[in-house]
């Protein structure tokens, strides 16, 4: 797990090593163990690498790495099947100098070209410079675990794990892209390829870029996307077997490490399933970490303790209080795009806690997306089943609302600011989804945007700020493909979300974990905005120099702050406005 960056001149410029050093400094938190710089002989191409050593801790894993004196790579991520791919390559006559997955990527590229991505099982973002062909190949993993952001014009191409490494370059000016602010306020994040900055983009999951230095052209290609059209007709017992086998394999692959490893444990179904599987696969007690709140309706620590007791983990709990918001300006800077997932705060805090004990963490991310675990998935199923009846009840308030369609109802569940333009993002994804069922179409849209641009961005930026590697067995692409083949009726059944996943885990986890109410991984916004967070937000949002006044009426913000209570909850709206203002102060003042 590392940080990568690079700068490439397309015309008359020459690489200045000081620029690369500054880029490296901006992502130093992602890789405190080692750093490296490569500059091509013609000084047109510069690559940067920061290393967090996980596999092959020797100097042989140093990057940027070369292969056959032709290719140079800077790589961020982990390839879990690299040993299997290495053995295949050795049969073709390939030889290796290290025990690293990085060298295997280079050999795969030499053998298969851009098709090398089809052979990779893991999380990755990398750039490969081919000296002979004068091309640069950049790729991002299928679901978007690892970030890749870039800038391109007629003069230069630049890329980095975090866009803050791009903003230090003299050719790149930090300009806000105000056209995406409504979308941010609607969803709480900026959907790819936009970033919130003009002319800086993020590569979508399952895509790669090819840069031709001779012709000064940049092309983007999609090599993978989630497909819900290949449903399988299996019995519940057959599904349970398939799910458990895939879960065990994906967990085992992610336990390969040359450094200490642990797990985040909320006590929910997803993280508990990972801990259960890790305990099965490990001869030593698993180290687990969780967040606790004094507000009982948000506190899951008692459930985490139950799971810890069952599997005899070495468990550590961090209690989070409202005073933790003091780090919000720093956090807004780290997240670098407008970003309002409030669980980013606790994700960062629990990452800092875990990093005191381990370097690698497994988590339960992806369970809700694969198996429909959110409250809005239950509502989606309800609306889907009732929508045919709507035309017979034109005056009923609820049934009349179904006339708007399941997708339109979904917007109501997902957003707190009712803007029309942001809906087009989801409408487009919905219309182009590889799915026949309307419910799968909406899941596909979430998989395309919410998963990588909110959930995975949060985990990557929060954990890497603490120099902690996070791995997600439930987001193994084979698990995602398997889950997409499950009929929706087995995901939500008899008003039970994640039905078939929970059935699969009945022999591993107790009923009090499998069937407890879902709490969600978030901070108590409604209560905090009734207490310490209210005056803090007021001082930021109602300041005369506040930029937010150009985006949203100050009198309405003041009204929300005045009228907010736990019953009259404006917490989500106020949080989005607050984080937008803190982002603006970080980058444009």
| Residues with catalytic roles | 2
Question: CA-CA distance, 199 to 174, in Å (whole number)?
Answer: 9
Give whole-number Cα distances, 108 to 84, 100, 161, 472, in Å.
12, 13, 22, 24
Q: What angle do CA 38, 40, 44 make, to 5 degrees?
A: 115
Phi and psi, residue 51, nearest 5°: -110, 130
Question: Distance of CA 378 to CAs 300, 522, 562, Å?
Answer: 21, 20, 33
Q: Please, are residues 463 and 470 in contact by the beta-carbon 8 Å criterion?
A: yes
Alpha helices in 3-99 (DSSP H): 17-26, 82-91
Which residues, 6+ apart, have CB-to-CB distance to 581 below 8 Å? Answer: 540, 541, 546, 547, 548
Q: Do the Cβ atoms of 518 and 375 come closer than 8 Å?
A: yes
Point out which residues pair with 35 in neighbouring strands.
50
CA-to-CA dists, residue 315 to 268, 286, 301, angstroms: 15, 8, 10
291 annotated as ligand-binding? yes
Instruction: Give the residue among 292, 254, 293 at the shortest CA–CA distance from 274.
Output: 254
Q: Considering Cα of 16, then 20, then 26, then 29, what sign does the dihedral take?
A: negative
Question: How far apart are alpha carbons 153 and 169 in whole angstroms?
Answer: 13
Q: What kind and span of H or E run contains 577?
A: helix 571-588
Return phi, psi of residue 163, to 5°: -70, -15
Q: Is 389 exposed, middle or buried (0-12, 13-18, 19+ CB in 10 A)?
A: exposed
- The residue to which tokens 């980095």 are assigned: 160
Under 8 Å between Cβ of 109 and 128:
yes
> Which structure tokens are listed for 99?
């025990």
Omega of the bond leading into 146 within 30 degrees of 0 (cis): no
Whether 156 has a binding-site annotation, put simply, is no
The annotated binding site for ATP is made up of 291
Which positions make up the binding site?
A: 101, 291
Residue set of the binding site for L-glutamine: 101
């Amino acid at each position: 797990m590392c940080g990568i960056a690079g700068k490439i001149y397309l015309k008359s410029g020459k690489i200045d090593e000081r620029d690369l050093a500054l880029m490296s400094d901006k992502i130093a938190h992602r890789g405190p163990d080692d750093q490296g710089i490569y500059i091509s002989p013609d000084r047109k191409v510069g690559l940067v690498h920061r290393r967090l050593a996980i596999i092959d801790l020797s100097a042989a894993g140093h990057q940027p790495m070369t292969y056959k004196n032709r290719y140079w790579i800077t790589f961020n991520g982990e390839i879990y099947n690299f040993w299997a791919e290495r053995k295949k390559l050795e049969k073709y006559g390939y030889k290796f100098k290290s025990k690293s997955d990085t060298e295997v990527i280079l050999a795969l590229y030499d053998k298969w070209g851009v098709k090398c991505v089809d052979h990779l099982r893991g999380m990755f973002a990398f750039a490969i410079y081919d000296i002979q062909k004068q091309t640069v190949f950049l790729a991002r993993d299928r679901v978007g675990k690892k970030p890749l952001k870039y800038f391109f014009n007629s003069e230069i191409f630049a890329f980095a794990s975090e866009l803050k490494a791009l903003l230090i370059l003299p050719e790149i000016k930090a300009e806000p892209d105000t056209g995406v602010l409504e979308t941010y306020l609607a969803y709480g994040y900026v959907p790819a390829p936009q970033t919130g900055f003009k002319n800086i983009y993020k590569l979508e999951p399952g895509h790669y870029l090819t840069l031709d230095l001779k012709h000064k052209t940049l092309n983007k290609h999609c090599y993978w996307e989630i497909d819900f059209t290949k449903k399988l007709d299996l019995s519940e017992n057959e599904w349970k077997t398939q799910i458990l086998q895939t879960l065990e394999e994906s967990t085992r692959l992610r336990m390969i490490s040359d450094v200490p490893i642990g797990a985040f444990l909320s006590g929910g179904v997803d993280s508990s399933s990972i801990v259960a599987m890790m305990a099965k696969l490990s001869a030593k007690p698993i180290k687990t970490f969780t967040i606790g709140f004094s507000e009982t309706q948000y506190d899951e620590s008692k459930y985490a303790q139950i799971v810890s007791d069952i599997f005899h983990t070495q468990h550590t709990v961090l209690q989070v209080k409202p005073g933790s918001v003091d780090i919000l300006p720093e956090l807004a800077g780290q997240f670098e795009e407008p970003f309002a997932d409030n669980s980013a705060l606790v994700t960062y805090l629990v990452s800092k806690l875990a990093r005191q004990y381990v370097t690698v963490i497994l988590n339960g991310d992806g369970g809700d997306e694969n198996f429909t675990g959110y409250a809005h998935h239950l509502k989606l199923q309800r609306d889907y089943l009732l929508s045919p009846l709507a035309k017979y009840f034109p005056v009923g308030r609820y049934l009349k609302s179904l006339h708007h369609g399941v997708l339109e109802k979904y917007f109501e569940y997902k957003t707190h600011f009712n803007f029309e333009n942001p809906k087009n993002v989801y409408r487009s994804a919905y219309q182009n989804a590889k799915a026949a069922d309307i419910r799968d179409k909406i899941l596909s849209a979430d998989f395309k945007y919410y998963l990588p641009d909110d959930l995975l961005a949060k985990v990557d930026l929060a954990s890497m700020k603490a120099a902690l590697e996070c791995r997600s067995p439930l987001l193994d692409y084979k698990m995602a493909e398997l889950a997409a083949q499950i009929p929706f009726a087995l995901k939500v059944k008899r008003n039970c979300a994640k039905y078939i996943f929970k059935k699969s885990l009945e022999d591993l986890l107790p009923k009090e974990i499998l069937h407890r109410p879902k709490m969600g991984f978030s901070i108590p916004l409604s209560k905090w905005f009734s207490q310490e967070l209210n005056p803090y937000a007021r001082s930021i949002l109602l300041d005369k120099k506040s930029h937010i006044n150009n985006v949203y009426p100050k009198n309405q913000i003041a009204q929300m702050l005045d009228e907010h209570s736990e019953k009259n909850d404006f917490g989500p709206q106020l949080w989005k406005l607050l984080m937008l203002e803190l982002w603006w102060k970080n980058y444009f003042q």
